[in-house]
Structure 1
């Protein structure tokens, strides 16, 4: 290579190295991935949790003028449901909307997000974010590599292949999916045999008879078409011992790479969408009853007397077990009880 050619090549490399494209960080060049386990839809149709992720993606992209782009992967199409939380902690997944309690084996504190009888109304649930319990939970997650973007709570009920399950005595001898370790402890104490699996696997288990009943959110009771394999439903319309924290979360390592204005943008849009989540959850609590009634299922509501019985069992089993895990769990439970 001649001196002139060498100088030309070096000049070209130098120019390329300082080009605006290469000076952009990696996140500005590729879409951030949002994963969840729920059925896919559109901005206006389908499971509201999928819609929320699409609304979030569209609004952040708009406010960032295209600097941030997103790709939504519904139905666990990007990775398995139970791998999402860990992947975010490692920076292998950007964002996920996933039940927080699914990560209980990895971070025991998060099981407070599906603690039976601890949250019994939406007012109480959405008060957590700015209460001591919410601030402490967010801090723990941040330390573990997770940023809370949207606080999403859902009430839930129980679909059954046979009789409705309202009172604890109704659960005796039944194979039931609870959704968290703590929910399972309460069900076991009531005499049920528990089955552990994510909500997107409930249909197959109930269809084959491997499971007789399942506790899950009202939205999942609809989206996963469980009315096709059920004959009874206990709703959350009149209250429930099953309230689940199912937030939109982001990998802290990915979040920290963004400039401050884009970080603030993400958190602002996430917070704004919480009103949509609350409205949609309440609507689904009613809609699920309509869906099951149309198929001829027997639809009943939880009543205050039965709720108190479940709560008493939960305090003696799930709450006690959780508080004994470590001082951090004990402190979180104490802070949560202040919201009762």
Structure 2
């Protein structure tokens, strides 16, 4: 899990390369020692002579270079990517210089190019490639044991393969960039689609004028609560609210003022209802509130306070007059049913209207 995380950022990748480099040193020591033991059976030289020539010296150089690379990486962390690249290239030189007679030893230089490709940055691939080619030709022209082992045809083969690896590395980077951009676009499209779906869902469930839940959502909540009440004996109450003489307000002041009144009344419900309550604009000038986690008395007190607050609210567009609401309430009992429950609350509302309006009535 930690290694997978290391690949996700450059610093993590650098640490992973350093860890792997140290691990490779120990693996090389083990393999070299095993190889020396086998070779020693067919060689006149003593075990320690072979070990010092083919294992100790290159391993010591590798450890020193790797330690210096690690030190410079810590001291100059800003240039850590390039320090590691140069360090890996230097280690490759240790084995090329110590084993120039090994067939294809110069192809170790390609490893540094492949490592630079892990950063998914073209400039690092170009930097490492140029450095590797300079190193190759420097060894060829100035290190006779190396040049004597390589034919001219091998040089052209190496350059061709080397350029091929550069092209493959750059191609992988371009492909990675394309896939990353495609992934980002896909994620952006999914986010936009999710936002649109949320907005559409909200539009389907809320009233555009007041921002409250709408008529459709009211019945969805009511059905769900009735179902839960049957299973868990949940107590809840329904309040149906009607703005008194709302038609007269529209006729006298206009529908625009009527809409302002609806919004302000709806705002009072949102401000005063508790977090356990659900407020709906049922339709026209009618609202509904489903109250949960309260007994009948507590629900009545909440709704009657809202009624009183609305009656004290004045409207400058109506010459600072106030509006009132009538509220009918009913507490649900298991087995009552949705239609009977709603009808009981509705009858309480009409009773409040007949009794003079601006009052709250809870059916027994």
Query: TM-score w.r.t. structure 1 length?
Result: 0.21
Higher helix share: 2
- Greater per-residue strand proportion: 1
Relative contact order, CA 8 A, sep 6+: which one is greater? Answer: 1
